Structure 1
Amino acid sequence: MSPSRKRTAAAHLVKQFAVSQRRACRVVDQHRSSQRYESTPKSDEGPLLKRMSELVRRHPRYGYRRIAALLRAEGFRLNAKRAFRLWRREDFRVPRKQAKKRRVGSSANACHRRRAAGRNDVWAWDFAFDRTANGTTLKWLSIVDEFTRECLALEVGRSVTAEDLIETLAALFRQRGAPNHLRSDNGPEFAARAIRRWTERLQIGTLYVAPASPWENAYAESFARNCGTSSWPRRSSAACKRLEL
């Protein structure tokens, strides 16, 4: 908090709670000499602050030095020291950049590099999308054993969450055992924290392929593409009846 803001806060405490100036200064961590100080504003400070506020709103990523340079270009007399003092006093801030979320995945996990060694070694899963006659979006989940090329699951719904994926996998594990690895892209459902913790607890490896590289999950992509040209129209009709679409 700047000294001027502390000065305002201390004055409020004195007026609102009838405490001494000494005690109010101690509460806000303000020296009493600073509390009693009265600055003499310069004649141009009003227009300067107004323009400074406008520039800060227009250029939120600019710091006080760049704002000061713009003000000087407009004819204001302002050095870096004064600009910093006014910046602190008005509590201007440059918003912090949001850290970019690092997407998981690597080409080392591609199907042509990390091949399935046998049944239940690697299961590939992926989503595909379809539409009903009335325009409702359907989300298809397919799970394929890469070694046997067997389709283990084909689920459909308006939306599929990480919890739905865990439920589907758990049912498959009870039927035929768990795989050594699951291969997928880094979509939000597959890379969800719930999925990663659950597979880690069961000691199942997750093979996330590189971002924007669907060919690295070729078995799941190929299955989805073939289904899209053959059996999905018939399956979609049945799914619509089950979902009452």
Structure 2
Amino acid sequence: MSTRKRHTPEQVVRKLTQADQLLAQGRDVADVCRELQVTEATYYRWRNQFGGLKADDAKRLKDLERENATLKRLLADAELEKAALKEIAKGKLLSPQRRRAAVHHLMTILRVSERFACRVTGQHRGTQRRLPAAQTPADPDAALRAWLRTYAKAHPRWGFRRAYHDARGEGWTVNHKKIQRLWREEGLRVPQRRRRKHLGVSTAEPQVRADAPNRIWAVDFQFDATTDGRPVKIVSIVDEHTRECLGGLVERSITADRLVDELDRIALVRGYPAVLRSDNGPELACATMRDWAGERVDLAFIPPGQPWRNGYIESFNGRVRDECLNLTQFWSLTQARVVITDWKTEYNHVRRHSALGYQTPAGYAAACTHR
């Protein structure tokens, strides 16, 4: 059985020239078509398409048609790529995970092929088809990922740097870059709260330096409330050198006499400090505190409206607010005492402090040789 033959433009022009010669001899169109072995419909289609052309002209016309079709296809691909780039996220797709997600998005929304989507996003097709290690049963970091999730759940306001030092402390052999990468892949980013900027004028008054433990204690008050709307007053006392929280009170109201009793209780264990730094609140700048200090403790009051001059206790209060008070709803004073006391114990013995080389305050105080 013979197959259908496809004629080139040169062959078509030659057959049309032969048909003109036969027609000039008096042959009719039907005989000419039988002689050329084509149908009359094909003959008339050739006549409309190639009539009056020479073989070179027909070849050139065919090349132009082919080039025109190629240009149309390239234009269509360019427009499709432009639409695809508008569809995916703005900016550079730097990681294979983001490129993989962009490829799936384009294939779903624009109904394009995987090859086209990979070309637009710059993703290698082999990388696209290979599952990430985190999505395979043989993930080598599965145990570490589970540990990071548990760690972030227990300490929602702690970041990857502290997680790295705690992981090393628990025996994980890993560097900080891997902890940061896994932390981001697990979506464990700690939301950053916007801080207010304080404007003030510094004075030339010399600041007392805490160059040894028990040299300077800092004290300050905080306020919260229980669910019934009643206030909760919190006082904290911090050693500025070791960053330890030495003690504190959680009451509805705290007077100067109650604060003096707490200072005496701490002093029975640690001795009295050389300086007690605080603001000039009514509980601190009063006759009771002046009589308690006497000649053994120097009361250093910061200038009014300049809380940054008592920066250690202000930083500690910020940690209390961010990691404890903002995460807990107190329904009673007893619950507030238990939660805040437990947090301060964790602060001293578990929470690693960046200013102490990521040691705990209690661990640093035990090894401190500054006397």
Matched, 1:215 2:297: no
Q: 1:220 to 1:237 in 2, by over 3 A?
A: farther
Q: 1:134 to 1:238 in 2, by over 3 A?
A: closer
1:187-202 matches, cutoff 5 A: 187-201=281-295
Q: 1:109 to 1:154 in 2, by over 3 A?
A: farther
1:1-245 matches, cutoff 5 A: 113-201=207-295, 203-232=296-325, 233-234=327-328, 236=330, 239-241=333-335
Q: Which consecutive unaligned segments of at least 5 residues does structure 1 have?
A: 1-105
**8 Å contact from structure 2 (residues 221, 233) kept in 1:** yes
Q: 1:175 to 1:236 in 2, by over 3 A?
A: farther
**8 Å contact from structure 2 (residues 221, 236) kept in 1:** yes
**8 Å contact from structure 2 (residues 226, 332) kept in 1:** no
Distance 1:108 1:193 in 2: 27
Distance 1:236 1:133 in 2: 6
Distance 1:177 1:155 in 2: 19
Between Structure 1 and Structure 2, how many residues are aligned? Answer: 135
Shift of 1:150: 0.4
Specify which structure has the bigger relative contact order, considering alpha-carbon pairs within 8 angstroms and separated by 6 or more residues. Answer: 1
Q: 1:186 to 1:230 in 2, by over 3 A?
A: same
Distance 1:194 1:166 in 2: 8
Which residue does the alignment assign to 2:4? none
Distance 1:154 1:237 in 2: 20
1:191 aligns to what SS in structure 2? coil
Give deviations 1:12-68, integer Å, cap 9, x for gaps: xxxxxxxxxxxxxxxxxxxxxxxxxxxxxxxxxxxxxxxxxxxxxxxxxxxxxxxxx
Distance 1:108 1:222 in 2: 23
Give deviations 1:137-179, integer Å, cap 9, x for gaps: 1110000000000001131111110000110000000011111
Give deviations 1:189-230, integer Å, cap 9, x for gaps: 0111110111014x1001100011111111111101110111
Q: Which amino acid aligns with 2:214?
A: N
Runs of 4+ in 1 over 4 A off after TM superposition: 106-110, 233-238
Distance 1:114 1:145 in 2: 13
Distance 1:235 1:107 in 2: 40
**8 Å contact from structure 2 (residues 226, 333) kept in 1:** no
Give deviations 1:85-139, integer Å, cap 9, x for gaps: xxxxxxxxxxxxxxxxxxxxx95667xx322120000000000111111111111
Distance 1:204 1:213 in 2: 22
Shift of 1:236: 4.7
Aligned CA RMSD, in angstroms, stands at: 2.3
Q: Which amino acid aligns with 2:213?
A: R
**8 Å contact from structure 2 (residues 232, 333) kept in 1:** no
Distance 2:287 2:320 in 1: 30
Larger radius of gyration: 2
TM-score (normalised: structure 1):
0.51
Q: 1:200 to 1:155 in 2, by over 3 A?
A: same
Q: Which consecutive unaligned segments of at least 5 residues does structure 2 have?
A: 1-201, 338-371
